[in-house]
Structure 1
Amino acid sequence: MSNDKRPHTKGPRRSRPVTPSRLVAFEVLMAVDVDDAYANLALPAKIREFGLSSNDAGLATELTYGTLRMQGFYDRVIANAAARDIDTIDLVVLNILRMGVHQLLNMRVAQHAAVDESVNLAEHMASLGAVGFVNAVLRRTSRHDLEDWQEFITKDISNADERLAALYSHPVWIVRALKQSLEAEGRGEELENLLASDNLNPRVTLVELPGFVDANDEVEGEPTNYSPLGMSLNTGGDPTRFARVREGVVRVQDEGSQLAALVLSRHHEITPGEKWLDMCAGPGGKAALLAAEATLGGAELTANEVIPGRADLVRKALAILPDVDVVTGDGVDIGLDQPNTYDRILLDAPCTGLGALRRRPEARWRKSPKDVGDLTALQAQLLTSALHALKPGGVLAYVTCSPHLAETRAIVEGALRKNQNVSELDARAVLSDVAMETMDIAGDSQSVQLWPHRHGTDAMFISLLTKSE
């Protein structure tokens, strides 16, 4: 069997149908591999298409995200149990096996049910010859528990980084990049906790747009630890079940993203008439929060996005804030076209997204070191443009959802070296004023690096810059 990416071909139908949650998870996994789909977009669409109940949607979500996160580790288990290289297994069969291994090793599913449901799925979706193969591989897998497999898979790996990569299902280059970032803070010993956090389901957090939600509004959720506008849905479920979410005045947004926007909007008191820019605004989450903050203070926000389709998403996100100007253009050109124009600028730069591996589990398998080089060149260009567009005395927030040092401190330090009139502000002091509780921010720079294992947020990086005449 070859591991090509052709659409799967269904085998003969069995009398017992596949459980809807498993079918949804399987179809999303195939879409991720065949169509380069994003699980966080494909899964909700499939759940709606199949009309899954809350319980079935929860099972489909765990099957999808858990399988994607641990794919690297599961592939090692499958290769051992099958006694063959992963590349020789048909993609349809491989995804059925990955789901089965996840149920056996990391879910509270009875062994017989995990094997039987996987075999049933193979009978519907794979060839006749694959059915016995799936049954045999999963039965061999079920003879050992997770700890046994962890020990077996890593026993011959002597390199510490490679061992952690195998154990926690990360590409080794990502493990090394995260290690370097933590060591730069003097916290290298936290690496294993960070890798483990990347494999946990993040809590759903909401943000209340200021000026739209009254104190008496009954919006279900517990206050977040740090963001003054955040709520945590500890019970999970679909946030759109709440009317205020459907109205758009409460949004789904990671707490780290909320803090990144608030560090800029609340750096100092807003003077009416200020001009703000969100340079890379798509899909519009931070732009909505900034726009609400700007409106309250009498400032004007322009939201720019280079990709027309994403600009449409920004317009949709800002529909309840009609005074915001949404434009489509290349952020690299803004500095030359509009020099010394904006009082505050958010540059939420395109990045590898290594800070959001909990939410975008397939990203760890799609990114490569080459992507870092391509993106850092763009990040540097965008930051140069943003600094040109910034008014003297204005504030620029350089933000990435990546802790990779090449995308964070290296970009900021490069800009400081090239521009003698640019200086860094103390983002930590601003965060201390904004946050509801004291945050453990390590290292000795003025920038902020958030972490999932330490703060429960995505690994957002925030640096504040200003320039003189």
Structure 2
Amino acid sequence: MQPARRVAFDVLRAVAESDAYANLLLPGAIREAGLSTQDAALATELAYGTLRRRGTYDAVIALAADRSVDEIDPALLDALRLGTHQLLGMRVARHAAVNESVNLAASEGGRSAAGFVNAVMRRVAARDADAWQHDIEQAARSDDERLGLRSAHPVWIIRALRRALAAEGREDELEQLLAADNDAPEVTLVALPGLAEPAEPRRPYAPTAFASAGGDPSTVVQAARGRVRVQDEGSQLVALALVGAAPVRSGERWLDLCAGPGGKTALLAAEALQHGAQLDANEIVPARAGLVRRAVRAVPLAVTVTEDDGRTIGAERGGRYDRILVDAPCTGLGALRRRPEARWRKTPQDVAVLAPVQEELLTAALDALAPGGIAAYVTCSPHLAETAVVVQSVLRTRDDIDELDARAVLQSVSLAPLDIPAPRSGGGQAQLWPHRHGTDAMFLALLRRRD
């Protein structure tokens, strides 16, 4: 069996069986298998491409197998998904895609499993991608369902993204956004300010950001002893915006409230070191708190990392901080380029569960601000229920908070103009987008406690 296909298949199985994330598993699996650069690229496309278009491929497989995918053994279904991607989404020879899929099935379920997969794969191979797309769309019950089958997004996510774009008067960009979610993202790195310099090629907006020159970025990170890290440009921009929202006074105290895994914490630590500020970090999950401690080792600044429930910070540390980053736990719908499996894993119920937690965290952060202090509320999701609605809900209960113009602040820290329209509802919130800015869909609101 071709090693790249085995690596991709094993990653698909781990994603399905243990809710693992491919972007965390795949690099290690590639290294462990000792894949060449060419085979590593193949394994990456096989795994990510299959995960991105899973919903579309499942519709094709159901037609070809004449049964619901729920009736197919999960391991065989992953083998079929992998083979279908090779046939319909890549330029892989028909015989290679079919034979390798059959070999995977045989290794998982023996001769009968191999026979079943062989029959289904031959039916898939008998027609091209356009013909299959036509057939599955014919069975769609609505325009949004057809769009979902074409773009490989669940209908509920399509509708949420449309509403978020409509809040800016840009709903006509929906198909561009869906296409961007299916593009392989460029690997972006951050050079911690004052400790490292960005290399070429530079990214267009964040002064700390540059693009990977190719290959395994972990070698660059290791060579820089953690002073260069992998981090999306949008994540860099929202952290820099907290620092740039007002002049920093020496001796300020900052807090990263939901710090794991520590990427933004390291960037804030480097900024705090340059400005003579102190930084605390909090992360309730012990394993993630460990990642935060590891992330800030590269910065010669004493960062205190606690493992408290962030919702109690306001009561326990009221009025203590001059700047607080609330990078709230969210659905991650803004990072579907990097975590393609999330679109099939998340549900509307996740939004309903997270929104009250997000409100409590933001409320606690505002209580922990000193007079004149600024909180940045950030999510890697454009879903309105996790962004504008949370901010509006919290502000309705407060008479001591002013909203700053986050769009203007982002422009002030950016190297180039950012196309960020004002929300139709008013307010100064800012939303980044993969199709418009080449970043994850990061949301930012900046809130200042009155003196």
Query: Aligned pair 1:397/2:371, yes or no?
Result: no
Structure 1 residue aligned with 2:58? 75
Which aligned runs of 4 or more in structure 1 are off by greater than 6 angstroms? none
Q: CA deviation at 1:377?
A: 0.4
Q: Please, which moves more after superposition, 111-120 or 356-365?
A: 111-120
Determine the C-alpha separation between the residues in 1 that align with 2:104 and 2:83.
10
Q: CA deviation at 1:214?
A: 4.6
Determine the C-alpha separation between the residues in 2 that align with 1:337 and 1:311.
19
Determine the C-alpha separation between the residues in 2 that align with 1:106 and 1:325.
48
Cα deviation 1:268-301 (Å, max 9, x = unaligned):
2221100000000000000000000010000001
Q: Which amino acid aligns with 1:21?
A: A
Structure 2 residue aligned with 1:257? 235
Q: CA deviation at 1:195?
A: 1.1
Judging changes above 3 Å, is the alpha-carbon distance between structure 1 residues 36 and 103 closer, same or farther for their aligned structure 2 residues?
A: same
Q: CA deviation at 1:158?
A: 4.7
* 1:241 pairs with one of 203, 209, 219: 219
* 2:249 pairs with one of 257, 261, 271: 271
- Asked whether the equivalents of residues 245 and 251 of structure 1 are also in contact (C-alpha less than 8 Å), the reply is no
Q: Structure 1: 5+ residue runs without aligned partners?
A: 1-17
Determine the C-alpha separation between the residues in 1 that align with 2:445 and 2:398.
16
| Residues 144-223 of structure 1 aligned to structure 2 (within 5 Å) | 144-214=127-197, 219=199, 221-223=200-202
- Asked whether the equivalents of residues 203 and 236 of structure 1 are also in contact (C-alpha less than 8 Å), the reply is no
Q: CA deviation at 1:128?
A: 0.7
* 1:459 pairs with one of 438, 441, 448: 441
Cα deviation 1:91-147 (Å, max 9, x = unaligned):
111100000000111112122211122122222222211212212211211222222
Q: CA deviation at 1:243?
A: 6.1
Determine the C-alpha separation between the residues in 2 that align with 1:414 and 1:200.
34
Q: Which amino acid aligns with 1:340?
A: G
Structure 1 residue aligned with 2:396? 417
Structure 1 residue aligned with 2:33? 50
Q: Structure 2: 5+ residue runs without aligned partners?
A: none
Q: CA deviation at 1:69?
A: 0.9
Partner of 1:126, secondary structure, is: helix
* 2:103 pairs with one of 120, 123, 126: 120
- Asked whether the equivalents of residues 240 and 246 of structure 1 are also in contact (C-alpha less than 8 Å), the reply is no
Structure 2 residue aligned with 1:132? 115
* 1:141 pairs with one of 95, 118, 124: 124
Determine the C-alpha separation between the residues in 1 that align with 2:201 and 2:126.
42
Q: CA deviation at 1:244?
A: 5.9
* 1:385 pairs with one of 350, 364, 378: 364
| Residues 275-424 of structure 1 aligned to structure 2 (within 5 Å) | 275-321=253-299, 322-424=301-403
Q: Please, which moves more after superposition, 289-298 or 84-93?
A: 84-93
Q: Which amino acid aligns with 1:362?
A: E
Partner of 1:200, secondary structure, is: coil
Determine the C-alpha separation between the residues in 1 that align with 2:446 and 2:351.
22
- Asked whether the equivalents of residues 213 and 249 of structure 1 are also in contact (C-alpha less than 8 Å), the reply is yes
Q: CA deviation at 1:242?
A: 2.3
Q: CA deviation at 1:428?
A: 0.8
Determine the C-alpha separation between the residues in 1 that align with 2:304 and 2:130.
55
Q: Which amino acid aligns with 1:426?
A: D
- Asked whether the equivalents of residues 311 and 361 of structure 2 are also in contact (C-alpha less than 8 Å), the reply is yes
- Asked whether the equivalents of residues 239 and 245 of structure 1 are also in contact (C-alpha less than 8 Å), the reply is no
Aligned pair count reads 447
Determine the C-alpha separation between the residues in 2 that align with 1:20 and 1:367.
30
Cα deviation 1:371-408 (Å, max 9, x = unaligned):
11110000000011000001111111000000000000
Determine the C-alpha separation between the residues in 1 that align with 2:125 and 2:12.
22
Q: CA deviation at 1:418?
A: 0.7
Determine the C-alpha separation between the residues in 1 that align with 2:108 and 2:210.
41
- Asked whether the equivalents of residues 221 and 229 of structure 2 are also in contact (C-alpha less than 8 Å), the reply is no
Partner of 1:127, secondary structure, is: helix
Partner of 2:188, secondary structure, is: strand
- Asked whether the equivalents of residues 190 and 230 of structure 2 are also in contact (C-alpha less than 8 Å), the reply is yes
Partner of 2:372, secondary structure, is: strand
Determine the C-alpha separation between the residues in 1 that align with 2:30 and 2:314.
43
Query: Aligned pair 1:108/2:94, yes or no?
Result: no
Q: CA deviation at 1:20?
A: 1.0
Determine the C-alpha separation between the residues in 2 that align with 1:345 and 1:398.
9
| Residues 56-67 of structure 1 aligned to structure 2 (within 5 Å) | 56-67=39-50
Partner of 1:318, secondary structure, is: helix
Partner of 1:392, secondary structure, is: strand
Partner of 2:385, secondary structure, is: coil
* 1:446 pairs with one of 406, 428, 441: 428
- Asked whether the equivalents of residues 220 and 228 of structure 2 are also in contact (C-alpha less than 8 Å), the reply is no
Q: CA deviation at 1:150?
A: 1.6
Q: CA deviation at 1:156?
A: 3.4
Determine the C-alpha separation between the residues in 1 that align with 2:407 and 2:177.
21
